[in-house]
């Protein structure tokens, strides 16, 4: 089954959770962190990735979606050669530069707000 998605222009408030299941259950705007192995879990220096339940849905009428999870690597190149810098606070994070899921969503995570461009 091929999945299609229409570009989203939705913006949402981000809410940080300690575990992925709570963030996923929350839906669009749910955020959680993965940590570098054997780290003290200091924010932001020990964060390996920021996972965000993005404000997008697959365009399938028979599938109910409350957002789609996307990983944003911190200070480490991802498979596309991109990297993001994490700042702000643990509860109101900022990722720089912008978050661009090509053809799906483009915007910012700034001070805990997930804002479309």
6 — pLDDT class (breaks 50, 70, 90): low
Classify the C-alpha dihedral 86-92-98-101 as positive or negative.
Answer: positive
Q: Tell me the pairing of strands 68-73 and 85-88.
A: unpaired
Q: What is the pTM of this model?
A: 0.88
pLDDT, residue 15, reads 97
Domain ranges of the chain: 14-101
Q: Where are the alpha helices (DSSP H) in the chain?
A: 20-26
- Answer yes or no: is pLDDT of 2 > 60: no
How does pLDDT run across 25-64, given as a tens digit for each residue?
Answer: 999 999 999 999 999 999 999 999 999 999 887 776 666 6
Higher pLDDT, 3 or 35: 35
CA–chain centroid gap for 96, Å, is: 12
């Amino acid at each position: 089954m091929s999945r299609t998605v229409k570009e989203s222009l939705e913006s949402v408030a981000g809410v940080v959770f300690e575990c992925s299941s709570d963030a996923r259950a929350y839906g669009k705007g749910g955020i959680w962190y993965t940590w570098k192995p054997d780290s003290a879990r200091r924010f932001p220096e020990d964060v390996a990735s920021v996972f965000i339940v993005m404000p997008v849905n697959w365009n399938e009428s028979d599938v109910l979606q409350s957002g789609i999870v996307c990983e944003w690597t911190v200070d480490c190149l991802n498979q596309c050669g991109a990297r993001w810098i994490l700042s702000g606070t643990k509860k109101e994070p900022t990722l720089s530069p912008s978050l661009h899921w090509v053809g799906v969503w483009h915007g910012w995570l700034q001070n805990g707000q997930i804002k479309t461009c």
